[in-house]
Homo-oligomer: A and B are copies of this chain.
Amino acid sequence: MTSESSFIALMRQIATDPAARGLNDDAAVIALGNETLIITHDMMVESVHWLPDANPADVAWKLVATNLSDLAAKGAKPIGVMLGYMLGDDDWDWAFAAGLGEALEHYAVPLLGGDTTRAAGKLDARSIGMTAIGMATTATVPSRSGAQSGDVLYVTGNLGDAYAGYELARQGKIGPEILLNAFNRPTPMIASGQALAPIAHAMMDISDGLLLDASRMAEASKLRVEIDLATLPLSADYIALHNDNRESRMIAASWGDDYQLLFAAPANAKLPVLAHAVGRFAQGTGLALTENGNSIALPDRLGFEHSC
């Protein structure tokens, strides 16, 4: 089986246009007259991105939210979305449609088109794709690269809540709602992204885990990043369910799906939104992990990777 990273390496040989940004970003950045267009495409697959018994309305919501989160990381203003949908059974399709309508209305983003199709036989694992289109709000559009040595690494909010929500959903438990929502209906940080875009040296959303995504930012910026596990913002609900110790902090740092914004900014920058300093960029390469300043070992898996 091809690993995702080798396939992306193949694609990178094709994606030589500057707008593709070497496929190192979660969105394409296209200069068009006086405007800059931001376009992103995300797929979700049953049993990979949602549990088979998930509420279809939640699946629709999450598809919208993760796409808008990619726009948020570019400080973009959403223009609309396109849907690629595989029809399955009636109830699921209708519930999905209702959830899609609800999410798009909530974020005031129009559905602009798409394609609907159907598997030839029984549909074993549904896949759904969405393209989100946005407009840049700054002349320079933040990317994964651009962090500078000495910059502080910030995260906009709690990590680990999506993991805690996933565990509750997997076990069929009902609350706390805020954790279930973090997993089922994540919030794209659209306004925060627009506020941060003018000052962030580098920005991305955390979809695959803080450690993995931060190491990608460091690599794209040709720097080393040091993260202190003790500084991670954890919610009281997360701590109540999973305690506050090295293991639970390591999970919060590597599980992903939180869709907080991760950004690099100078230590003296005045931040327009609340954010938590979790690390620092320095000359060098790679990721180093500390806990209250003391060096600790990296986990075996830095985050969520699709590779086999």
Contacts and interface: CB of A to CB of B under 8 A. Distances in A.
A198 interface: no
A117 B2 contact: no
A167 B218 CA distance: 53
B41 A308 contact: no
B80 A112 contact: no
A25 interface: yes
Secondary structure dominating the interface of A: mixed
A101 interface: yes
A129 B33 CA distance: 28
Interface string A23-63: 10111101011110101111111111100000000000000
Contacts of A90: 1-2
Contact of A83 (B4, B41, B121): B41
Contact of A127 (B30, B83, B86, B135): B86
A189 to B, nearest CB: 20
Contacts of A85: 7, 43
B120 A19 contact: no
Contacts of A135: 32
Interface stretch (A8-16, A178-186, A260-268, A295-303): A8-16
Query: Which of A97, A114, A119 counts the most B-chain CB atoms under 10 A from its CB?
Result: A114
A285 B200 CA distance: 58
A85 B105 CA distance: 28
A112 B41 CA distance: 10
Interface string A86-123: 11111001100100110011000011111111111111
A20 interface: yes
A215 B23 CA distance: 42
Given A30-B79, A39-B133, A83-B11, A306 B45 contact: no
A11 B129 contact: no
Given A1-B90, A48-B117, 20 more contacts: A8-B116, A11-B97, A11-B100, A13-B101, A17-B80, A20-B80, A20-B110, A28-B80, A30-B80, A32-B33, A39-B82, A40-B113, A41-B82, A41-B113, A41-B129, A41-B131, A45-B118, A47-B119, A47-B120, A123-B125
29 contacts: A1-B87, A1-B89, A2-B89, A2-B90, A8-B116, A13-B101, A14-B111, A17-B112, A20-B80, A21-B113, A23-B113, A27-B113, A32-B32, A32-B135, A33-B35, A39-B131, A39-B133, A40-B82, A40-B113, A43-B84, A46-B120, A47-B121, A87-B306, A115-B129, A118-B306, A120-B125, A124-B124, A124-B125, A127-B127
